């Protein structure tokens, strides 16, 4: 047998395998989808979650009030109300006419004037300098700086669109305001961005580690499996909260922070990546169990006979087949991570203001829960937001489990 | 009996390895983390700071410290003096805090199991009824609310609105009740869901159907044939549940001003109390490991298919 | 597994659960105390020489008594309601001051005893103060005695040839000549006295610039341990030391491996100025104590009424050692109360001490100091009647609580400020510091955030110190702030580097930092990050000057401006701002030696004016003491230092 031939054969076989695999996969997923669609609570949850994700992403574009502008003098602890509000009307902001749009127009006019002046300069060096200074001014003095914290370029554009569409209109404080006079509705929405991203990032990290670890252990079996699973058992007995507390202080260290920033890495991100690195234990167990039962299946055997490398078998053939259970488990890990974020906020180890997360909001809210006076709205709304999200994730998880359960097939 | 003994001995070996690993990790972390346990508002002269370090053997080369401290633990069970709580040794801190944490955890777990299993059984047996839906919705809610919010609301409800319990503190049965309930509720919710799922699965098994068909009373069938199978996932959940209860107690001890180990745990880590932190981590590790071992053992006993490995 | 075994196991499990439940429900029921209060965090220690915080002090003030005691005198201030406190006879029944204010002679009561019946003598004070000052005790408050002759040199360990010194030989209990130092500092090793003839030091080691704080400190300590002291030993005649009668000359060192060591060099712990032999404090007879001051401190009587100067029981400490002597079963005290029981993180139970000299005036038999950190928890317990006195009510509810009868707020001597690291640009520019200060709307902070009637601060010293008119400080205006910023090279905030506000983890500090963050952004276009840290790391950052701006606060240790101004001396261990001003230092040292009270206050005021002009820190507000006290409690009055002697509390029976 000459080599090219064998390669050709191999390729053909692999292609065939893949195709058959695909066909099998599609039918499985289709079937599951059909069953999931019949499950009303799960579908409602799915729609809710998709909506939530969309809304969270589009938050800068929504006609919300500023999440961090504190109207201490007039708006502390206002109960929910429908009183209309104008963006930028707080006196301390000193916006022209007390309006964001007016101030923005004024600012843009000034910049335009300066730009015109700069254009008139003949010396190209001086002109460049002038442009530089105008850019600097935009960066520092833009009215958006007063109402939003460090908008990224995408968010900045979104806010611009928001101002273009809605002008100075903002939804009234229907969720009330907090102890420093910030609008809770806006904070709940902006908090959703942080909380959801935290949940997703950490879960994805846990997914990657857990799936690879579990799949490798399950595929190789024998002493490798035994050793790897013993290590997991061992890790189960470690109180990780302790490690987390240390990491928080370590990452807060000035030099570490500067170092991370020089690489453009967000401190919070790193932190939640690490949390994800802690949450992979159960995932790896689950995946390992599935892979153990799969590895004797024919398609694995055939892949092995054609000489596919173990890594290829694990990641190309086995992992896709355990995806179902992994997705189910995913919907259970996200809530756990989000609750953990809240827990850290309670201990004062969460995100730093002016960033806001649901955990932070709830911590503030609990502070205002007292028998002496009840500022119920400060805890109810963020609490409801978190509870509803976790509720939905749980129902979706249940629904997915039922839908993906092979025993339920064709029912 | 022989395999049981072998199992326990092997587990003990693993525990030793785990403890050693935890000790090493916490040792490294604590020396790598910034901040010194001797920080005070007034800066100390170098000679005195060195002396303070010497008192806790922190001036020795790291490897020396590593062995010395480990040897102290192994030979004398001595975790040394707490650096920050000057008047106490770590052993004393644990001796005072452990009973509080343990009794809180016991109440919480027992409460969670009783409530969770009964709710799960009821809602499985009356599947699809209003009671089932309501109970499962409550259970999800129990999982979906952070326990510090739950505890704060519970205080408003059961201390102020309906004055059943005292607001905080430790020393009487009434004072334990509310924190134990708050601690146990999320666990109970989880157990209820597991029980219900397990029950539903068991109920559809052949031998159960046969038992019903034979006309055995419903109650007998459920207790004798359905429950044992249905409880397997619950039993295996008890390990993580213990971990959950221990973590949760960090929060509840703060809200209810309880003198347990949880508050020491956080305090030691954030204040760089090296010795106390090590002591706490090791204690928690032992607790978790023992609980996990008991759970594995129980699992093997209840499920005849499982062998002790 | 056989079926029988399985059944047995189930039964066993049931039994274990039952037993553990029964074990868990067993409590040592103890009768409730007559009076209980929120004491904040758990006290770190009951050793007066090691304690620093308020939770510790609330207990220490009531289990020990000083020479004098700060007690209410006169009527409360009609405006603020603050009850003036003055030093009144404590263990000393009277005292005399020499006309130059340099010598105090205390006459001790002759019937005072420790709680175990052992009499308290003037020698106890000499011993206690020596222990307090001893470098190895590392008492954070030792500077309070620095006004006494030789005390500062003793505490800092500075000696020079010609000084009369004490040498502690390497023979503490449990020590051998080549062993590690014993952990027990008291009881000490044998003390010999003599005159220091020479002090030889090996060349100072070169420590790399980038070494960690720990490495630097270790290098210095190692170097110091190699110093060689040559001492002319003095003959001892009974209790008296004949300094001029030299018996022999001996060389001492801490580390016998030092290259300077001679053949007959002996090992010794410390060679220190002989504080207790040189007349700073004298105990001519058991009931007389004479104190010779270095400076004519007008506030010295107040210091004797503050807990670091309280006597500690020598017999108890020498018997049990540190830290065992503070265990509830060992501790011997000398206050209106003694320790009944101490449960970690739960409570310290104080019970009336019948042996105290004024026990008749003490009404409450037992007091619980409960360790409750959470503000809401404390208030909840108060509302349900489990607590009689809340010392730290939740800020969120102040407006609500204000309306109630049991709410008591009054200013006390304490200031909240933001330290600036004046080494770091742009904060090294005084114009920037001023601009930042002027851009803070303090009125808004005290009115809308802290809400309890705090006073906006523009200088350092809080109002309310008799005889002192605080410096005005510069309020400035927003326009001026903007102008200063432009002058400093940051027009409209352009080019201003981002910086971080550091604060210790607490909701109220966070709220203030968030508001200041917004004010700077709104008023100057300057962005600040916030970072919170736990107390230990927070202190570390400040001391190593690895911060930009940090929250800080200071409570008066004695009612005198000096307690605040001292902080910013260039050599002060608490000056984390790196700010130095020679004129400021000079004014303070002039004030210290000035015996004319009016002139002294003028000098201090001048110093404060310099501070307020240079602003090494931005003052924000002067504190208010907040207490919520059950209406049936009387005698718990707001005081200038927020201290509350428990023997004056009275309880009316609740109807």
Summarised one tens digit per residue, pLDDT across range A133-169 is: 888 888 888 999 899 988 888 999 999 999 999 989 9
Tens of pLDDT along C227-254? Answer: 999 999 999 888 888 999 999 999 999 9
Question: Would you say residue B1 has pLDDT above 80?
Answer: no
SS3 call for B63: helix
Chains in contact with A, where contact requires at least 3 CB pairs less than 8 Å apart: B, C
DSSP 8-state class, residue A97? G
Phi first, then psi: what are they for A410, rounded to 5°? 60, 20
A387 and B141 within 8 Å at the Cβ level: the answer is yes
Residue B135 C-alpha, separation from nearest chain C C-alpha, in angstroms: 26
Over residues A106-125, the mean pLDDT reads 90
Question: Would you say residue B86 has pLDDT above 90?
Answer: no
Over residues A227-241, the mean pLDDT reads 84
Q: Which residues contact B241 (CB under 8 A, 6 or more apart)?
A: B109, B112, B187, B190, B191
Q: Exposed, middle or buried by CB within 10 Å (0-12, 13-18, 19+), for A264?
A: exposed
Task: For residues A279 and A143, state if they share a domain.
Answer: no
Least confident of A78-92, B20-34, C393-407, C597-611: B20-34
Average pLDDT across chain B, whole number: 87
Q: Give the pLDDT score at A27.
A: 64
For the ranges A5-19, A233-247, C541-555, the maximum mean pLDDT occurs at C541-555
The domain spanning residue B157 has which CATH number? 1.10.3720.10
Task: For residues A141 and A224, state if they share a domain.
Answer: no
Q: Exposed, middle or buried by CB within 10 Å (0-12, 13-18, 19+), for B139?
A: buried
**Tokens 């499962």 — which residue?**
B136
Confidence class for position C440, pLDDT limits 50, 70, 90? very high
Confidence class for position A411, pLDDT limits 50, 70, 90? very low
C525 and A140 within 8 Å at the Cβ level: the answer is yes
Task: Give the strand pairing for C617-629 and A169-170.
Answer: unpaired
Q: Give the mutation candidate from C59, C140, C223, C346 for the B interface (greatest B CB count, under 10 A).
A: C346
Q: Give the pLDDT score at A22.
A: 57
B272 and C536 within 8 Å at the Cβ level: the answer is yes
Cross-chain CB nearest to B42 (options C6, C9, C574): C574
Task: For residues A186 and A142, state if they share a domain.
Answer: no
ipTM, 2 dp: 0.91
Over residues A216-231, the mean pLDDT reads 88
Confidence class for position A3, pLDDT limits 50, 70, 90? very low
Fold annotation for C413-624: Dipeptide-binding Protein; domain 3 (3.10.105)
Note whether residue B87 is domain-resident: no
In this structure, the dihedral spanned by the alpha carbons of residues B124, B128, B129 and B131, taken in order and rounded to 10 degrees, is: 50
A183, A313 Cβ separation under 8 angstroms: no
Question: Would you say residue C193 has pLDDT above 50?
Answer: yes
The Cα–Cα gap between C638 and C626 comes to 9
C624, C38 Cβ separation under 8 angstroms: no
Tens of pLDDT along B252-267? Answer: 999 999 999 988 888 8
Between A and B, how many residue pairs show a Cβ–Cβ distance under 8 A? 114
Tens of pLDDT along A50-77? Answer: 999 999 999 999 999 999 999 998 899 9
Rounded to 5 degrees, what angle do the CA atoms A138, A139, A144 make?
Answer: 85
Q: Give the pLDDT score at C435.
A: 95
The Cα–Cα gap between C373 and C390 comes to 11
Task: For residues A151 and A273, state if they share a domain.
Answer: no
Comparing CA positions, the residue from C627, C633, C626 lying closest to residue C35 is C633
What is the full DSSP assignment across C88-106?
Answer: EESSEEEEEE-TTS-EEEE
Task: For residues A234 and A329, state if they share a domain.
Answer: yes
Note whether residue A21 is domain-resident: no
Note whether residue B2 is domain-resident: no
The Cα–Cα gap between A247 and A270 comes to 10
The Cα–Cα gap between B234 and B120 comes to 11
Show the tokens assigned to C211: 């070494």
Question: Would you say residue A195 has pLDDT above 80?
Answer: yes
Average pLDDT across chain C, whole number: 91
Tens of pLDDT along C272-295? Answer: 999 999 989 999 999 999 999 999
Confidence class for position A29, pLDDT limits 50, 70, 90? confident
The Cα–Cα gap between B133 and B196 comes to 12
Closest chain C CA to residue B263? C345
Note whether residue B111 is domain-resident: yes
Bigger pLDDT: B163 or A241?
B163
SS3 call for B133: helix
Confidence class for position B193, pLDDT limits 50, 70, 90? confident
Domain borders along chain C are 150-207+218-278, 413-624
The Cα–Cα gap between A289 and A307 comes to 24
In the Cβ-directed half-sphere of B39, how many Cα atoms lie within 13 Å? 20
B144, A386 Cβ separation under 8 angstroms: yes
Over residues C476-485, the mean pLDDT reads 93
Q: Give the pLDDT score at A329.
A: 83
Question: Would you say residue A272 has pLDDT above 90?
Answer: no
For residue C177, the tally of other CB atoms under 10 A from its CB is 10
Confidence class for position C56, pLDDT limits 50, 70, 90? very high
Question: Would you say residue A233 has pLDDT above 90?
Answer: no
Q: In Å, how far are A74, A86, A183, A294, A358 from A78, measured between CA atoms?
A: 9, 16, 9, 59, 19
Tens of pLDDT along B45-56? Answer: 787 888 888 878
What is the full DSSP assignment across C535-601?
Answer: HHHHHHHHHTT--SEEEEEEE-SSSSTHHHHGGGSTT-TT--S----HHHHHHHHHHHH---HHHHH
Chain C residue numbers with beta carbons less than 8 Å from the beta carbon of B36 are 213-214, 536, 540
The Cα–Cα gap between B173 and C249 comes to 70
Closest chain B CA to residue C221? B47
Note whether residue B289 is domain-resident: yes
Task: For residues A127 and A236, state if they share a domain.
Answer: no
SS3 call for C642: coil
Average pLDDT across chain A, whole number: 85
pLDDT above 90: percentage of residues in chain B: 33
From A149, A170, A191, give the residue that closes a domain.
Answer: A170
Tens of pLDDT along C520-532? Answer: 999 999 999 898 8
Closest chain B CA to residue A368? B152
From A137, A170, A203, give the residue that closes a domain.
Answer: A170
Residue A159 lies in domain: 86-170
This prediction has a pTM of 0.91
- Beta bridge partners of residue A197, listed in sequence order: none
Q: Give the pLDDT score at C573.
A: 84
Q: Give the pLDDT score at A410.
A: 44
pLDDT above 90: percentage of residues in chain C: 69
Q: Give the pLDDT score at C410.
A: 92
Q: Give the pLDDT score at A2.
A: 46
Residue B184 lies in domain: 95-300
Tens of pLDDT along A373-397? Answer: 889 999 999 999 999 999 899 889 8
Over residues B124-139, the mean pLDDT reads 87
A13, A303 Cβ separation under 8 angstroms: no
C444 and A252 within 8 Å at the Cβ level: the answer is no
Q: Give the pLDDT score at B304.
A: 66
Q: Is some CB atom of chain B closer than 8 A to the CB atom of C374?
A: yes
Task: For residues A217 and A278, state if they share a domain.
Answer: yes
What is the full DSSP assignment across C470-508?
Answer: --------HHHHHHHHHHTT-GGGTTPPPEEEEEES-HH
Least confident of B270-279, C3-12, C400-409: C3-12
CA C539 from centroid of its chain's CA atoms = 14
DSSP 8-state class, residue C275? G
For residue A373, the tally of other CB atoms under 10 A from its CB is 14
Across C224-365, where does the E strand assignment appear? Answer: 228-237, 240-253, 266-273, 281-285, 288-292, 337-343, 347-352
Note whether residue A17 is domain-resident: no
Q: Give the pLDDT score at C178.
A: 82
Tens of pLDDT along C635-652? Answer: 898 999 888 999 999 998
Over residues C152-161, the mean pLDDT reads 92
Residue A153 C-alpha, separation from nearest chain B C-alpha, in angstroms: 34
Question: Would you say residue B187 has pLDDT above 90?
Answer: yes
The Cα–Cα gap between A136 and C220 comes to 47
Least confident of A43-52, A125-134, C66-75: A125-134
Note whether residue A64 is domain-resident: no
Q: Give the pLDDT score at B201.
A: 83
The Cα–Cα gap between C527 and C436 comes to 12
Q: Give the pLDDT score at A20.
A: 61
Q: A37-63 burial, b for 16+ CB within 10 Å, e for fewer?
A: eebebbeebbebbeebeeebbebbbbe
Q: In Å, how far are A315, A361, B100, B273, C30 from B172, measured between CA atoms?
A: 57, 34, 11, 31, 9
Q: Give the pLDDT score at A1.
A: 40
Confidence class for position A5, pLDDT limits 50, 70, 90? low
pLDDT above 70: percentage of residues in chain A: 91
Confidence class for position A19, pLDDT limits 50, 70, 90? low
Over residues B296-305, the mean pLDDT reads 75
H or E stretch at C130: helix C122-133
C64, C308 Cβ separation under 8 angstroms: no
Q: Give the pLDDT score at A136.
A: 87
The Cα–Cα gap between A363 and A357 comes to 10
Note whether residue A101 is domain-resident: yes
For residue C534, the tally of other CB atoms under 10 A from its CB is 23
Question: Would you say residue A7 has pLDDT above 80?
Answer: no
Number of domains in chain A: 2
Cross-chain CB nearest to A73 (options C448, C517, C533): C448
Residue A211 C-alpha, separation from nearest chain C C-alpha, in angstroms: 34
For residue C600, the tally of other CB atoms under 10 A from its CB is 23
Residue C393 C-alpha, separation from nearest chain A C-alpha, in angstroms: 11
Number of domains in chain B: 1
Comparing CA positions, the residue from A199, A193, A182 lying closest to residue A62 is A193
pLDDT above 70: percentage of residues in chain C: 99
Show the tokens assigned to B96: 């005072």
C600, C392 Cβ separation under 8 angstroms: no
Comparing CA positions, the residue from C365, C361, C544, C584 lying closest to residue C460 is C584
Tens of pLDDT along C68-108? Answer: 999 999 899 888 889 999 999 999 999 999 999 999 999 99
Residue B122 C-alpha, separation from nearest chain C C-alpha, in angstroms: 22
Note whether residue A32 is domain-resident: no
Tens of pLDDT along C366-422? Answer: 999 999 989 999 999 999 999 999 999 999 899 999 999 999 999 999 999 999 999
Note whether residue A251 is domain-resident: yes
Question: Would you say residue B33 has pLDDT above 80?
Answer: no
For residue B129, the tally of other CB atoms under 10 A from its CB is 12
Q: Give the pLDDT score at A8.
A: 67
H or E stretch at C409: strand C407-420
Task: For residues A380 and A309, state if they share a domain.
Answer: yes
Task: For residues A347 and A216, state if they share a domain.
Answer: yes
Bigger pLDDT: C516 or C217?
C516
Closest chain B CA to residue A379? B149
Q: B21-40 burial, b for 16+ CB within 10 Å, e for fewer?
A: bbbeebbebbeebbbbbbbb
Question: Would you say residue B9 has pLDDT above 50?
Answer: yes
């Amino acid at each position: 047998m000459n080599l090219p031939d064998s390669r050709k054969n191999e390729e053909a076989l692999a292609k065939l395998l893949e195709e058959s695999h695909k066909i099998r996969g599609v039918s499985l997923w289709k079937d599951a989808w059909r069953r999931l669609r019949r499950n009303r609570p799960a579908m409602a949850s799915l729609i809710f979650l998709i909506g939530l994700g969309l809304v969270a992403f589009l938050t800068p574009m929504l006609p919300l009030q500023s999440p961090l502008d504190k109207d201490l003098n007039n708006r502390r602890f206002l109960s929910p109300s429908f009183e209309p509000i104008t963006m930028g009307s707080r006196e301390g902001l000193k916006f022209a006419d007390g309006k964001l749009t007016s101030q923005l127009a004024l600012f843009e006019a000034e910049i335009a004037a300066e730009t015109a002046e700069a254009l008139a300069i003949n010396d190209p060096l001086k002109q460049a300098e002038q442009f530089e200074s105008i850019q600097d001014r935009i960066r520092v003095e833009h009215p958006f700086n007063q109402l939003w914290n460090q908008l990224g370029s995408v968010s900045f554009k979104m806010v611009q669109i928001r101002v273009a569409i809605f002008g100075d209109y903002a939804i009234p404080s229907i969720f009330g305001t907090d102890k420093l006079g910030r609008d809770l509705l806006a904070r709940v929405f902006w908090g959703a961005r942080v909380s959801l991203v935290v949940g997703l990032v950490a879960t994805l990290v846990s997914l990657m580690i857990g799936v690879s670890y579990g799949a490798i252990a399950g595929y190789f079996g024998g002493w490798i499996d035994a050793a790897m699973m013993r290590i997991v058992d061992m890790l189960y007995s470690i109180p990780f909260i302790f490690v987390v507390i240390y990491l928080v202080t370590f990452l807060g260290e000035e030099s570490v922070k500067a170092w991370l920033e020089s690489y453009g890495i967000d401190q919070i991100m790193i932190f939640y990546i690490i949390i994800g690195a802690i949450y992979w234990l159960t995932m790896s167990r689950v995946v390992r169990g599935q892979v153990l039962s799969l590895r004797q299946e024919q398609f694995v055997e055939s892949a092995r006979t054609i000489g596919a490398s173990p890594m290829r078998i694990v990641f190309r053939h086995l992992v896709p087949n355990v995806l179902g259970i992994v997705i189910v488990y995913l919907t259970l890990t996200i809530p756990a991570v989000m609750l953990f974020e809240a827990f850290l906020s309670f201990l004062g180890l969460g995100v730093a203001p002016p960033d806001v997360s649901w955990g932070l909001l709830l911590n503030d809210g609990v502070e205002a829960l007292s028998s002496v006076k009840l500022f119920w709205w400060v805890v109810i709304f963020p609490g409801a937001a978190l509870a509803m999200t976790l509720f939905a994730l749980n129902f979706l998880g249940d629904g997915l489990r039922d839908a993906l359960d092979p025993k339920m097939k064709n029912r | 009996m022989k395999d049981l003994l072998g199992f326990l001995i092997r587990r003990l070996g693993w525990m030793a390895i785990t403890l050693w690993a935890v000790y090493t990790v916490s040792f490294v972390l604590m020396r790598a983390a910034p901040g010194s346990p001797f920080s005070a508002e007034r800066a100390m002269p170098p000679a005195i700071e060195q002396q303070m370090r010497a008192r806790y053997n922190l001036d020795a080369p790291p490897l020396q410290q590593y062995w010395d401290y480990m040897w102290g633990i192994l030979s004398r069970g001595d975790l040394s003096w707490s650096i920050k709580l000057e008047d106490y040794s770590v052993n004393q801190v644990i001796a005072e805090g452990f009973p509080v944490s343990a009794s809180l955890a016991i109440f919480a777990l027992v409460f969670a199991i009783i409530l969770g299993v009964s709710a799960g059984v009821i809602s499985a047996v009356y599947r699809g009824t209003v009671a089932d839906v309501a109970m499962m919705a409550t259970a999800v809610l129990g999982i979906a609310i952070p326990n510090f919010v739950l505890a704060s609301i519970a205080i408003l409800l059961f201390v102020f609105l309906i004055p059943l319990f005292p607001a905080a503190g430790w020393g009487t049965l009434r004072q334990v009740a509310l924190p134990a309930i708050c601690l146990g509720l999320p666990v109970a919710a989880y157990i209820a869901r597991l029980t219900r799922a397990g029950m539903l699965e068991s109920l559809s098994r052949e031998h159960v159907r046969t038992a019903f068909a034979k006309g055995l009373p419903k109650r007998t069938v459920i207790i004798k044939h359905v429950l044992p199978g249905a409880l397997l996932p619950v039993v295996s959940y008890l390990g993580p549940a213990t971990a959950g209860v221990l973590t949760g107690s960090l929060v509840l001890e703060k809200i209810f001003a309880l003198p347990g180990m949880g508050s020491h745990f956080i305090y030691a880590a954030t204040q760089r109390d090296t010795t106390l932190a090590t002591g706490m981590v090791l204690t928690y590790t032992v607790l978790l490991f023992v609980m996990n071992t008991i759970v594995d053992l129980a699992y093997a006993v209840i499920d005849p298919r499982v062998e002790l490995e | 597994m056989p079926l029988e075994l399985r059944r047995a196991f189930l039964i066993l499990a049931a039994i274990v659960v039952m037993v553990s439940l029964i074990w868990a429900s067993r409590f040592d029921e103890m009768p409730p105390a007559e009076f209980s209060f929120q004491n904040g965090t758990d006290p770190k220690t009951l050793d007066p020489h090691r304690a620093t915080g308020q939770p510790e002090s609330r207990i220490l003030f009531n289990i020990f008594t000083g020479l004098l005691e700060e007690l209410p005198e006169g009527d409360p201030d009609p405006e603020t309601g603050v009850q003036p406190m003055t030093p009144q006879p404590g263990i000393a029944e009277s005292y005399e001051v020499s006309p130059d204010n340099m010598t105090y002679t205390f006459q001790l009561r002759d019937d005072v005893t420790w709680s175990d019946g052992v009499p308290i003598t003037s020698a106890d004070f000499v011993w206690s103060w020596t222990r307090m000052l001893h470098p190895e005790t590392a008492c954070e408050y030792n500077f309070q005695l620095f006004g006494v002759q030789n005390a500062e040199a003793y505490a800092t360990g500075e000696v020079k040839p010609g000084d009369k010194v004490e040498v502690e030989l390497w023979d503490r209990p449990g020590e051998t000549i080549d062993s590690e130092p014993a952990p027990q500092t008291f009881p000490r090793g044998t003390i010999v006295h003599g005159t220091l003839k020479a002090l030889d030091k090996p060349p100072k080691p070169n420590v790399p610039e980038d070494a960690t704080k720990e490495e630097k400190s270790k290098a210095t300590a190692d170097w110091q341990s190699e110093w060689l002291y040559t001492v002319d030993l003095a003959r001892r005649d009974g209790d008296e030391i004949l300094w001029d009668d030299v018996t022999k000359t001996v060389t001492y060192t801490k580390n016998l491996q030092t290259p300077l060591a001679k053949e007959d060099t002996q090992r010794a712990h410390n060679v220190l100025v002989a504080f207790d032999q040189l007349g700073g404090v004298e105990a001519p007879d058991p009931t007389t104590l004479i104190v010779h001051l270095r400076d004519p401190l007008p506030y010295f009587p107040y210091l004797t009424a503050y807990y670091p100067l309280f006597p500690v029981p020598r017999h108890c400490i020498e018997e049990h050692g540190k830290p065992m002597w503070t265990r509830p079963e060992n501790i011997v005290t000398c206050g209106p109360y003694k320790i009944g029981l101490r449960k970690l993180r739960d409570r310290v139970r104080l019970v009336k001490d019948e042996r105290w000299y004024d026990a008749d005036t003490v009404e409450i038999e037992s007091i619980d100091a409960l360790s409750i950190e959470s503000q809401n928890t404390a208030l909840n317990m108060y509302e349900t009647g489990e607590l009689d006195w809340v010392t730290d009510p939740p800020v969120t509810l102040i407006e609500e609580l204000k309306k109630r009868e049991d709410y008591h707020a009054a200013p006390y001597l304490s200031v909240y400020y933001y330290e600036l690291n004046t080494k770091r640009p742009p904060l090294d520019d005084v114009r920037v510091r001023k601009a930042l200060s002027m851009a803070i709307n303090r009125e808004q902070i005290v009115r809308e955030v802290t809400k309890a009637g705090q006073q906006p601060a523009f200088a350092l010293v809080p109002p309310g110190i008799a005889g002192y008119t605080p410096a005005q400080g510069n309020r400035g205006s927003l326009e001026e702030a903007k102008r200063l910023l432009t002058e400093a090279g940051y027009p409209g905030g352009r080019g201003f580097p981002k910086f971080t506000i550091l604060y210790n983890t607490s909701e109220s500090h966070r709220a203030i930092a968030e508001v200041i963050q917004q004010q700077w952004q709104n008023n100057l276009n300057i962005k600040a990050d916030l970072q919170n840290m736990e107390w230990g790391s927070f202190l570390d950052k400040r001391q190593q000057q690895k911060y930009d701006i940090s929250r800080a606060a200071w409570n008066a240790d004695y009612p005198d401006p000096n307690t605040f101004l001292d902080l910013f001396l260039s050599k002060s261990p608490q000056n984390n701002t790196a700010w130095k001003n020679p004129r400021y230092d000079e004014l303070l040292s002039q004030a210290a030696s000035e015996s004319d009270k009016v002139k002294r206050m003028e000098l201090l005021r001048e110093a404060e004016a310099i501070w307020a002009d240079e602003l090494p820190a931005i003052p924000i507000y002067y504190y208010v003491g907040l207490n919520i006290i059950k209406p049936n409690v009387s005698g718990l009055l707001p005081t200038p230092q927020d201290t509350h002697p428990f023997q004056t509390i009275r309880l009316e029976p609740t109807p």
